[in-house]
């Protein structure tokens, strides 16, 4: 089975990648990560573009929420004032990213779809802000920031597809 123009070794429960997921993931910088992330939700194999948007936003939201909660651990255990300040900024950035993803859910629920891509990109930007503030430090957040950034980019791609003319035929 070929997906994203190369052979993947996928869990048997999603041995066939849908055309929609393949289309979305081909637009990402890491197709394998995208497929594995989307297929971590059991709704993906039967999802249309609208339901795939819910899956993508939920993945990003859950990851943001988990990481936001995680930040307090290194924040409370560091004695480096510069690193502490960076983590405090990340805490604010992650709360803002959560708000953006809540707005994306709201936009999806309203069936206007115009803001999904925008809110996902803003959430990714907040994660980038966090990572920029950590430059020059050895941070336990770097990997988490990369994962969340990739999830937000998947949301943005799905959001863009929601607003494309072909999505109209998929939704109706």
Q: Helix crossing, 49-70 with 116-133: angle to 10°? A: 20
pLDDT at position 3 is 56
Residue 6 has pLDDT above 60, yes or no: no
Q: Is the pLDDT of residue 1 over 50?
A: no
Q: Is the pLDDT of residue 101 over 70?
A: yes
CB 127: neighbour CB atoms within 10 A? 28
The phi, psi pair for 20, rounded to 5°, reads -65, -50
Let me know: does 120 contact 25? Beta carbons within 8 Å.
Answer: no
The backbone torsions φ and ψ at residue 8, rounded to the nearest 5 degrees and listed phi first, read -115, 150
Structure confidence by residue, pLDDT tens digits, 109-145: 998 888 999 999 999 999 999 999 998 777 889 999 9
Angle at 169 between CA 165 and CA 172, to 5 degrees: 130
State percent of the chain over pLDDT 70: 87
Q: State the pTM of this model.
A: 0.88
Q: Where are the domains of the chain?
A: 48-171
Q: Are 25 and 31 in contact (CB under 8 A)?
A: yes
What is the fold of 48-171? Butyryl-CoA Dehydrogenase, subunit A; domain 3 (1.20.140)
Confidence of residue 78 (pLDDT cuts 50, 70, 90): confident
């Amino acid at each position: 089975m070929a997906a994203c123009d190369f052979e993947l070794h996928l869990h048997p429960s999603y041995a066939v990648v849908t055309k929609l997921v393949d289309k979305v993931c081909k637009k990402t910088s890491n197709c394998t990560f995208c497929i594995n992330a989307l297929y971590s939700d059991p709704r993906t194999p039967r999802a249309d573009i609208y339901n795939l948007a819910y899956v993508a936003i939920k993945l990003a939201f859950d990851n943001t929420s988990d990481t936001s909660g995680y930040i307090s651990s290194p924040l409370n255990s560091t004695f480096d004032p510069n690193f502490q300040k960076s983590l405090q900024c990340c805490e604010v950035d992650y709360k803002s990213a959560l708000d953006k993803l809540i707005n994306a859910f709201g936009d999806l629920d309203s069936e206007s779809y115009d803001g999904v891509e925008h809110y996902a990109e803003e959430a990714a930007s907040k994660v980038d802000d966090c990572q920029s503030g950590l430059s020059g430090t050895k941070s336990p957040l770097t990997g988490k920031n990369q994962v969340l950034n990739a999830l937000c980019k998947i949301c943005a791609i799905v959001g863009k597809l929601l607003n494309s003319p072909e999505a109209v035929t998929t939704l109706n």
